Amino acid sequence: MSNWTPVAVLAVALGGALCVALLEQVVQGARIAPLALLRGAAATLDAPLTTPHRPDAWLYHLAPPLLLVAAVVTVATVPWAPGFRGIDLSTGVILFAAALAYVTPAVFMAGWGGGSPLAVLGAFRFLALMLAYAMPLAMVLTSVAAPAESLRPAAIVDVQATVPMIVSQPLAFALFVPSAMAVALLAPFDLAHARTEMGGGAFRHYTGVHAGLIALAQRMLVLGVAGMTAALFLSGWHGPVLPPAAWMVLKTAIVAALMLYAGRVLPRPPLDWLLAWAWKAAIPAAIGVIVWAALVTLLFY
């Protein structure tokens, strides 16, 4: 790790978050307007902070920074290019899951600290969702680590030089994408904080810098999750002609755009439907994915 690594990671996270915000405009069919985006951000930051008069207001104030830290670490674990070292641990995939795991307490702290009925309801909705979706996510991560015989994301990219993981483990991909979208607070899994249904839910009282931090963290989460999907399943930086980093950017952008587009066109399912599918279908399927991964690894790798 050189002294510039933290700067590089923050630059990737901030620049990527801006790109995700622009991508949102594209997906919404609006004109791409970076200046309007910045003006909106400035207006958000200009508003004064709100403090709920509740015993747990300190949780409310801690939630946005925690969410942002989780998002930055998520982005830092993604292998963006062969030489790029964000947080390059030999257990990087677990660190990715660990960083995402802190989104749940952050959302819970936001809702519980906010204290109003819809905020607390949003917090508990997210808790229920995450208890159901964290398991398939973690299990799928072990299944893609098996062929690489490594928990290091860069090693998992390298093992896909010939066959991308989406081909050898399609069911793992099908389980990973919705769970990752749910953790990244993306529609249609935004039952905890949807504007239309919950009036902002767990995040409904945030204004000013708080709201800015949460909006930034959400874009960074999309970036991290889309980047990790590209790295773990779409063979990351491997590709002809273009330089490796360009392939990674391209794949991440496509995955992020598809995720955002899914949020635009799919209806928001009811909570009990989502939970029933998670517990009764996704978790048993994830066990099957691990068995499949073991078979594939033994036979072909």
Applying CB under 8 A, the residues found at the interface with another protein are: 1, 55-56, 59, 88-91, 94-95, 97-98, 101-102, 104-105, 108-109, 112, 124, 127-128, 130-131, 134, 138, 150-152, 272, 276
Among residues 54 and 268, whose Cβ is nearest to another protein?
A: 54
Beta-carbon-side half-sphere exposure of residue 244 (alpha carbons within 13 Å): 15
Nearer to another protein, 276 or 295 (CB): 276
137 in Cβ contact with 176 (< 8 Å): yes
Q: What is the DSSP letter of 42?
A: H
Nearest to 19 by CA among 249, 180, 263, 261: 249
Least CB distance to another protein at residue 172 (A): 19
As separate numbers, helices (DSSP H) first and strands (DSSP E) second, the chain gives 14, 0
| Between 217 and 259, CB nearer to another protein | 217
Please identify, using beta-carbon distances, which residue of 105 and 236 lies nearer to another protein.
105
Q: How far is the CB of 220 from another protein (least distance, A)?
A: 18
> CA-CA distance, 222 to 181, in Å (whole number)?
8
Cβ distance to another protein smaller for residue 18 or 155? 155
Cβ contact 202:107 at 8 Å: yes
Least distance (Å) between residue 100 CB and another protein: 9
What Cα–Cα distance (Å) separates residue 235 from each residue in 74, 203, 263? 19, 36, 25
- CB of 260 vs another protein, minimal distance in Å: 26
Tell me the C-alpha distance between 25 and 226, whole Å. Answer: 17
Smaller CB separation from another protein, 25 or 150:
150
Residue 259 CB, nearest approach to another protein (Å): 23
Q: Rank residues 129 and 177 by Cβ distance to another protein and give the closer one.
A: 129
Shortest separation between residue 67's beta carbon and another protein, angstroms = 13
Asked if 257 contacts 287 with a C-beta cutoff of 8 angstroms, the reply is: no
Minimum Å gap between C-beta 104 and another protein is 5
DSSP H or E run through 292? helix 283-300
Distance spanning both ends of the chain, measured CA to CA: 31
Calculate the alpha carbon distances from 42 to 18, 25, 47, 220, 229 in Å: 14, 17, 9, 18, 31
